[in-house]
Amino acid sequence: MMRAPNEEIESVHLVVSRDPRASEVAVLRPFLLWACHPAFFLFLLGVILGAAGCRSTDYLAVRKEPWNPLEHSIEFVSSQKARPSKRTRQLLRRYDLEETYETDAAEALARLREELEREPEAEKAIAFAELAYIQGYRKDALGQDSEAINWYGSSVLAAYQYLFDPRYDPLRNPYDPQFRKACDLYNKSLESSLRILRKQGRFVVGTEQRLDNAGRQCRLRIVPRGAWKPEHLGRFEFVSDYDVRGLRNHYTTYGLGVPLIAVHADHHDARDPIDRRYPKGLAFPATAFLRIHQTHDQTADGVVVADLELYDPLVSTDLMVAGRRVPLQSDITVPLGYSLDSPSLKETQRFATLGLLFPDDVESYRGIYLLEPYDPNKIPVLLVHGLWSTPLTWIDMFNDLRAFPEIRTRYQFWFYMYPTAKPFWESAAALREDLAALRAEIDPHHLQPNLDQMVLVGHSMGGLLSRMQVIDSGDRFWAAVAKGSFEELEAAPEVKQHIAQVAFFRANPSIRRVITLGTPHRGSELANDVTEWVARNVIRLPKTLLWRSQVIRKNRDLFKSSVLVQPVTSIDSLSPDNPFFPVLNAIEPPTAVHQHNVVGLVEEKSWWKWLEDEPSDGVVPFWSAHWKEAESEIVVTADHQNIHRHPRAILEVRRILLEHLQDVDSAAYPVRPAALSVPHRPAPPQPATTLR
């Protein structure tokens, strides 16, 4: 990857374009670009797979045994037997408890507890926690749930005492491996306890459970601490049961707590419009932390009070316990994979092909979706996919960006889903409408300032959709295709209104930045006579577009180009000869909008190079992907399908998002007064009667 000034990029283009190819290659190139490109074979394969509704990716694999961080210190002989660590056996010998432990483990633990209460020592506390965990492990394997949870609770309490009880303040040694072992014992014993509670149907948010902890009554309250609604938290799964398979990177943090998969309850509150923005099968990351309010003394009524706190690691990375800051153990990748492997989201993998070939079948799914709880305190980043794609194409970038605490604590990521058969200006109008509808639903009076700092990130054709959200059309798009005024158009009222919404629009003032990746800013020669013929004979355009073929017959003398009104496909719309490209590239967005660009180039050794007479990402040529008007632009070595997955591209998006935060925090973007703000509605600069 290199950061190239616009002038340097322009010079690269000029030098390369002076190197002509053989005439026979030039003649055959339009056909070879399609017939020899991998996309041709993928296109044919996609027709078959899309019709069959096949599933292509599994994101998680179920482990045979849950991951256990104690495996490196405790010898697990079998599913029912474990042998204490070397240091714990040494401590048992020192206190003459080794033989007692072999014959009566409970008696040995009772005597060790007495020693611990009489004279607190770090080694004793950790040894007791380990031995109590082993006892719980044995009872758990035998199905003796009440005894198992009792011993697991004793282990949690002992580890918690060592970590937070003031009596141990002068005894803790964070450089000793035993310190981390105490954390692992706390985490694993708590997880094992929660597994039993789940099996008994008692792991329910908002409830209070009574437990017997080493002969003491414990009142356990299960309370959420995240941005979720309690009714959205259905069942819980454990991260340790899964291995990541289909995601490139696996992100975890280390500390205290049990990483969980909080499965969304699919509860839809008619009073909350954001509820329907969550796809079915969604799961959120969560971390369970047990806060014990008394560590070695009971309350007045003899009951120990504890809170099982459920934190959202996308919001909270640490917490305060006994006056010290404690990092949370978390995993944000496995819950994401769990969501993607749900049947409903798994089904969307075929929407890429269906949305291109049979757009009517996907139109009902069009809209803006959330994969994390909506948070008015975070700035939205809307990810817009490109041609023959779905929001799943963003998963690696989404997973990587959320791994940065400075990103996940300030931003929330939204995904736009749309069928990609339509010309890009039709899809841009749909996005404009969907953004306005969402804002009207969740913030009709514009009282949430973060919604006015939105960032759009578009890949491929999605970059064109994004760019068209931040410009004022005036009458320039109409003038590019028509000889007369819009009022001269003869068409049915609903068709005329739709054309007006597509051709005349205003910039969305809530969008402050646009990032495009692999976008054909001037079209792509992959859209040639061959590909357009194939597309027109394979793609079934929506009926709403087919209605307008009659407009051409009624207005033959009005149009100098029928591209706006004829039923063209998305592939047709990307032709470099499209008259809309010069218009789009001539319109400057408002000064408050920042625009950034990422260009992909295939490697020189790529077999694709022999077909090209210019550099490209394999689909979009450099002269089209390069955008000299962008505020910043970088070039990465990646093909078109993977440019938005390239590490340097993701880091560039991160850099831009951090830059955006600096502008927001420095008040570079003034917040509009709520009293003057109205929901943005696209409208042409013609009389209002044209839209009625």
pLDDT digits (tens, 9 = 90+) for 441-487: 999 999 999 999 999 999 999 999 999 999 999 999 999 999 999 99
Query: 419 and 516 in one domain?
Result: yes
Residue 359 is predicted with a pLDDT of: 77
48 and 147 assigned to the same domain? no
**Averaging pLDDT over each range in 268-272, 552-556, 581-585, 587-591, which range is the top one?**
581-585
Would residue 184 count as lying in a domain? Answer: yes
Q: What are phi and psi of 329, to 5 degrees?
A: -75, 130
> Of the candidates 335, 369, 396, which is a domain's last residue?
335
Question: Of 310, 335, 360, at which residue does a domain stop?
Answer: 335
Positive or negative torsion for Cα 675, 680, 681, 683:
positive
Q: What is the pLDDT of residue 545?
A: 54
Q: Taking the mean position of all CA atoms in its chain, how far away is CA 240?
A: 21
Same domain, 346 and 331: no
Looking at residue 671, its pLDDT comes to 52
Average pLDDT over residues 676-689: 34
d(CA 649, CA 643): 7
User: Do 384 and 438 belong together in one domain?
Assistant: yes
Domain boundary among 319, 335, 351: 335
Mean pLDDT of the chain: 84
Tokens of 430: 């749909």
DSSP conformation class of 448: -
Q: Report if residue 543 sits inside a domain.
A: no
Residue 537 resides in a domain: no
Domain co-membership, 302 together with 434: no
pLDDT band at 670 (very low <50, low <70, confident <90, very high): low
CB 261 within 8 Å of CB 334? yes
Poorest-pLDDT segment among 40-49, 54-63, 179-188, 590-599: 40-49
Residues 50 and 80 in one domain: no
Residue 1 confidence (pLDDT) above 50: no
Q: What is the mean pLDDT of the segment spanning 676-682? A: 35
> Does residue 104 sit within a domain?
yes
Q: According to the model, what pLDDT value does residue 533 have?
A: 43
pLDDT on residue 4 = 42
**CATH number of the domain residue 44 falls in:** 3.40.50.1820
In this prediction, residue 340 carries a pLDDT of 95
CB 230 within 8 A of CB 205: yes
Q: Which residue has the tokens 């955006």?
A: 660
Question: Are residues 52 and 76 both part of a single domain?
Answer: no
Provide the b/e sequence for 394-422 (b: ≥16 CB within 10 Å): bbbbbbbbbbbeebbebbbbbbbbbbbbb
Same structural domain, 316 and 447 = no
632-637 sheet: strands from edge to edge: 2-3, 632-637, 594-601, 511-517, 454-459, 379-384, 411-417, 367-370
What is the spatial distance between Cα 119 and Cα 121, in angstroms, rounded to a whole number?
Answer: 6
Residues 354 and 419 in one domain: yes
Number of domains in the chain: 2
Per-residue confidence (pLDDT) for residue 301, from 0 to 100: 55
Q: How confident is the model at residue 398 (pLDDT cuts 50, 70, 90)?
A: very high
**Helix spans in 453-510 (H):** 461-467, 476-481, 493-503
Q: What letter would DSSP give residue 22? A: P
Confidence check: pLDDT of 135 > 80 = yes
Exposed (0-12), middle (13-18) or buried (19+): which is 37, by Cβ within 10 Å?
Answer: middle
- Tell whether 316 and 388 lie within a shared domain: no
674 in any annotated domain: no
pLDDT in tens, 629-640: 999 999 999 999
The residue that leads in pLDDT, 177 or 569, is 177
Query: Considering the domain boundaries, does residue 592 fall inside one?
Result: yes
* Residues spanned by the domain of 657: 2-58+341-484+507-529+571-669
Say whether both 17 and 160 belong to one domain. Answer: no
Residue 455 Rama label (left phi>0; alpha psi -120 to 50; beta): beta
- pLDDT single digits (tens) 369-381: 999 999 999 999 9
Q: Taking 90 as the threshold, does the pLDDT of residue 154 lie above it?
A: yes
Same domain membership, residue 330 and residue 348: no
CA geometry: angle at 224 spanning 218 and 226, to 5°? 150
Look at residue 237 and tell me if it is in a domain.
yes
Amino acid at 614: E
- What tens digit of pLDDT does each residue of 195-219 get? 999 999 999 999 999 887 656 678 8
Closest C-alpha to 413, from 426, 432, 394: 394
Rounded CA separation 391/158 (Å): 46
Cα angle at 109 between 105 and 112, to 5 degrees? 140
The answer as to whether 472 is a domain residue is yes
